[in-house]
A and B are shown apart, each in its own frame.
Chain A
Amino acid sequence: MVMNHRYQEPEIHQMLQTLSQAVVMRDCKTVQELTERMVEERVDLFVILNQGLNPGMLWACEQFRKGTFHVPELLMSSRALKIGMNILRPLIRDRERNVVGRVVIGTVKFDLHDIGKNLVNIVLEGNGFEVIDLGVDVSPEKFVRTVEKHEAQILAMSSLLTSTMGWMKSTIELLRQAGMKRVVRTVIGGAPVTSIFAHNIGADAYCAEATSAAETVKKLLGIEA
């Protein structure tokens, strides 16, 4: 944690906790104010993201899983997260100006979940990656076409449903058919996705959580993390 700010560590810790709580409570105003204040106080951007915003979002997702949150609450938590990320994103981008690699990312066909993927985006951007985000419901053809067009080194796919995971396999298959499988490294992630599945479908890596995305991708490219 960067400590050249006027707050003591316990205070920062408290602020991070309040930030998390604000994401859960969908209190966008507090998220905005606190994120701005912490940025001003030079708290490390990734600390704000990984210890403030992200845990709040994970907690909200957990509430959704348990059934205490429904879609509208989840949407509002994700809006709060986005407001925080909008403050951090340009700063994180600026931090690492050397582009270490180009990533094409998206949620697979028939899958409309994007919270986890958006987190991965910002983590990758903050670590010097150029990210081309195709959004949700992306077909294998679109993935492969974009990778080819932008000459990306990495293809990252997310899936939140057991019923859509098969599209990851189809995309990798299409990549292979296009003769790009050896050139482009593939990484997959999402709630039902496991390392076993990644291995079985021939993906080059499995990313367990958004926060470890940069590390996973750097390892794939042979860059020291």
Chain B
Amino acid sequence: MIVPLLSTRLRENGGITHQLRSFTQLTGIPLRVSDSNGREVWQSDICQKKNFFCTLSRGKGGKDRFCRRAHKKAFRESIRWGEATIRTCCHSLMQVTAPIMNHGRLVGYLIASPFLLVDPSELQPDELSSLFRGLEKKQSLEKAISSIPVVKDEEAHQSAKDLFRLAEALSDPDLSCLREAREIQELQGKIVDQILDFKALDKDFNPQSLSRLFYEQEREIIVKIRLGDRLGAKEILHRLLAIVLSEHLENFELLKISILELLIILTRAAVEAGTKIEEVLGMKYRFITESAAIKDQEDLCIWVAHLLEKLMEGIYQTRHAKNYQRLEKTLSFIEAHCHESITVERIAKEVYLSPSRLSHIVKDELGMTLGECVSKVRVDKAKDLLREKELPISQIALEVGYPDQSYFTKVFKKVEKCTPKTFREKAF
């Protein structure tokens, strides 16, 4: 069932085979597409050449089981890390592998190999011996080796990325199913970085120093959450997870309890920062019900990381909503009082904020200073009045809070790029 699926896809989609060919043309690396059982369903032209290393090394009688085993290991790693893997094959040559998935199920893989990162003439005796291990006909193989493409190490990484994109194009719908794997591994990498930092800072790494550190970081993350500092909070979460893992990695139940404690700290801080309590309770409830199904620490860690993201998003939205209310109040106050003298202090008092906080909110949400905002409201009102022909401009200036007509004209021109007179003429 699966084989025709992949080969049909290749046969029917000329665009993709063109892309596969281009890969080899650009990188020089032979490319093969295999189904999940290791049967090749497509290969680049180089693979059919007489002196192609892999054909020669396989010989007669299915000696390619070593290759298949190496390929299998490689694509498994690729699924585990959520990206194309670069590693050595059974003959110590380089290979890049990427899985082809169909709705989360492996249907085949792409394998770009063999290639070398150094010139064949520079291979060391031990490298040559592992290259020739178990092989006969060394003479013809030596020739084949000299035709193996050499790729610069900086370029090999790019080739791996390109291969992953090709695998994505061959997958159905795409390789987004591997995104979570990648996310999990990235998080674990960050946690290990933190553990390394702890070890570098504190040679006498012990449970007491860890508890102290946890306490410090706990306070720190509460501050970051309250401030709505997403990146800062995330970094401290990595540190907290590193502490928890260092303490309880070998005991999953204890680890779970520690993570639950962490969850309580995070949610409490989020409530203080303005997230709705019902939402937070919902998250806690979900943790308790979902955590029973979580069987390893990697999933547990990513669960908390996602939770923090949700909490921060909640805080952001609540703040946003709160700011919005305050802005509305600010604008209607300016509108109602625009014929009077308006100071920042006066508006701030009206919306229960400090003058500097108000200025910040206006700048953040509207992208203009409070002064510019007042001018804008006044000019908008003036525009409405200018449309009523009867009123002289001096009168309008006065009604929108500018006793000095020439100053009003200046402000109007700055906002509307034309004088009030021209505006009126255009309006009619």
Q: Hey, which bits of chain A sit against chain B, CB under 8 A?
A: 26, 28-29, 65, 70-73, 75-76, 79, 83, 86, 112, 160-163, 165-166, 169, 191-192, 194-197, 200-201, 208
Contacts and interface: CB of A to CB of B under 8 A. Distances in A.
Contacts of A166: 249-250
Interface in B75-89: 77, 85-87
Given A70-B157, A191-B192, 10 more contacts: A28-B118, A70-B160, A71-B156, A76-B117, A112-B77, A163-B188, A163-B298, A191-B195, A192-B195, A208-B199
B193 A65 contact: yes
Contacts of A75: 86, 117, 153
Interface in B306-343: none
Contacts of B192: 160-162, 191-192
Interface of B: 77, 85-87, 94, 117-118, 122, 124, 126, 151, 153-154, 156-157, 160, 188-189, 191-193, 195-196, 198-199, 203, 205-207, 210, 245-251, 296-298
B117 A162 contact: no
A65 B62 CA distance: 40
A209 to B, nearest CB: 9
Contact of A197 (B87, B117, B154, B249): B249
A53 to B, nearest CB: 15
A88 to B, nearest CB: 14
21 contacts: A29-B122, A70-B86, A70-B157, A71-B87, A72-B156, A72-B157, A73-B153, A83-B124, A86-B126, A162-B249, A162-B298, A163-B188, A165-B249, A166-B249, A192-B192, A197-B246, A197-B250, A200-B249, A200-B250, A200-B251, A201-B250
A29 B124 CA distance: 11
Contacts of A197: 246, 249-250
Contacts of B206: 195-196
A194 B157 contact: no
Given A72-B153, A208-B199, A163 B296 contact: yes
A196 B210 CA distance: 10
A163 B210 contact: no
A86 B124 contact: yes
Given A86-B124, A162-B249, A71 B205 contact: no
A35 B203 CA distance: 32
Contact of A71 (B118, B151, B157): B157
Q: Chain A contact residues: over half helix, strand or loop, or mixed? A: helix
A28 B122 contact: yes
A73 B153 CA distance: 5
B207 A196 contact: yes
Contact of B188 (A162, A196, A208): A162
A191 B203 CA distance: 14
A169 B117 contact: no
What are the 9 A-B residue pairs with the smallest beta carbon separation, nearest first? A70-B157, A72-B156, A72-B153, A71-B86, A192-B192, A76-B153, A73-B153, A200-B250, A201-B250
A125 to B, nearest CB: 16
Contacts of B188: 161-163
Nearest to B252: A166
Contacts of A208: 199, 203
A166 B248 CA distance: 11
Contacts of A73: 153-154, 157
A161 B301 CA distance: 14
* Most chain B CB inside 10 Å of its own CB: which residue of A83, A160, A191, A192: A192
A208 B189 CA distance: 19
A196 B250 CA distance: 10
Contact of A26 (B153, B191, B196, B246): B153
